[in-house]
Amino acid sequence: MSDANQRAITYSCAADALSGRVILVTGAGDGIGRAVSLALARHGATVVLLGRTQEKLEAVYDQIKSEGGAEPALAPLNLQVARPQDYQELASLLDNEFGRLDGLLHNASLLGEITPLESYPDGSWESVMQVNVNAQFLLTQALLPLLQAADDGRVVFTTSSVGRKGRAFWGAYAVSKFATEGMMQVLADELENISPVRVNAINPGATRTAMRANAYPGEDPQTVTLPEDIVAPYLFLLGPDSADVNGASIDAQPK
């Protein structure tokens, strides 16, 4: 395991370590995005909750407020249909509301179908590539000026083991995660020497969420790690202590 991976999974920080930082999380209403949003708020961050289901975002908002966290912002947006100007409007809103953005977590994804490429439905292919690849490109592009204006901006992508080695039947999801690893590496290399922004990826590993249950319907969920138990690498890569880590793909649950 790399030194950066070891530091990421054993990371712990003070309760105010992210205080003053504004961090946007996609897919913040459920699963890993929800758990990371709560953890970020518990460490002082102002979290911008982006997702497609307003009620889920509101429930996370309410929980952060009830725990005494900084008031979050709601950003309801369907990444499957959002157009470039929607991302530009979001950037303007963040600029007007906060005047800054310190972190961006690309977490929202679609699983699509588990089926051979030969019979993969083209509509599902397009949806997965739109949400998992194109949307994160458009969102990154729109938010980069704000991130580059921050003292130490952070971008974190979410990858998967099937985005590093292809596996039969994982179709568009696997291909989209290879693209995600590629986007992370290209952006990290572009910014390495010209900006304090650091760009990395996390592979959460098997985690007890709706997506995992869909992918492995026969699995007993009780045997799978809870989202709240893998937040350490997210806090590390979205916070101030990872300035020397760039272009890394971190395993939250190394084998």
Q: Which residues are catalytic?
A: 173
d(CA 137, CA 192): 18
CB of 103 to ligand NDP, least distance (A): 16
CB of 67 to ligand NDP, least distance (A): 19
- Per CB under 6 A, the list member of 211, 231, 235, 248 interacting with ligand NDP is 211
User: Nearest-CB residue to ligand NDP?
Assistant: 31
- Per CB under 6 A, the list member of 8, 79, 128, 188 interacting with ligand NDP is 79
Q: Which amino acid is at 132?
A: N
* Cβ-based nearer residue to ligand NDP, 204 or 233: 204
d(CA 162, CA 123): 21
* Segment lying near ligand NDP (by CB under 6 A), choices 63-71, 78-86, 97-105, 235-243: 78-86
Instruction: Residue 42: name the closest of 69, 61, 21 by CA.
Output: 69
Which residues 6+ apart lie within 8 Å of 219 measured at CB?
Answer: 212, 213
Binding residues among 179-208 for ligand NDP as defined by CB under 6 A: 203-204, 206-207
| DSSP three-state, residue 229 | helix
Partners of 203 in beta bridges:
251
Q: Give all strands (DSSP E) within the chain, no chain letters.
A: 22-26, 46-51, 73-76, 103-105, 154-158, 198-203, 249-251
* Cβ-based nearer residue to ligand NDP, 107 or 249: 107
- Per CB under 6 A, the list member of 5, 37, 46, 107 interacting with ligand NDP is 107
Q: Indicate the angle between helix axes 171-191 and 122-129, nearest 10 degrees.
A: 20
CB of 36 to ligand NDP, least distance (A): 9
Binding residues among 6-65 for ligand NDP as defined by CB under 6 A: 27, 29-33, 51-53, 56
Buried b (16+ CB within 10 A) or exposed e, 55-92: ebbeebbeebeeeebbebbbbebebeebeeebbeebbe
Binding residues among 122-181 for ligand NDP as defined by CB under 6 A: 131, 158, 160
* Cβ-based nearer residue to ligand NDP, 107 or 246: 107
CB of 203 to ligand NDP, least distance (A): 6
CB of 55 to ligand NDP, least distance (A): 9
For residues 22 and 90, is the Cβ–Cβ distance under 8 A?
no
- Residues in contact with ligand NDP by the rule CB under 6 A: 27, 29-33, 51-53, 56, 78-80, 107-110, 131, 158, 160, 203-204, 206-207, 209-212
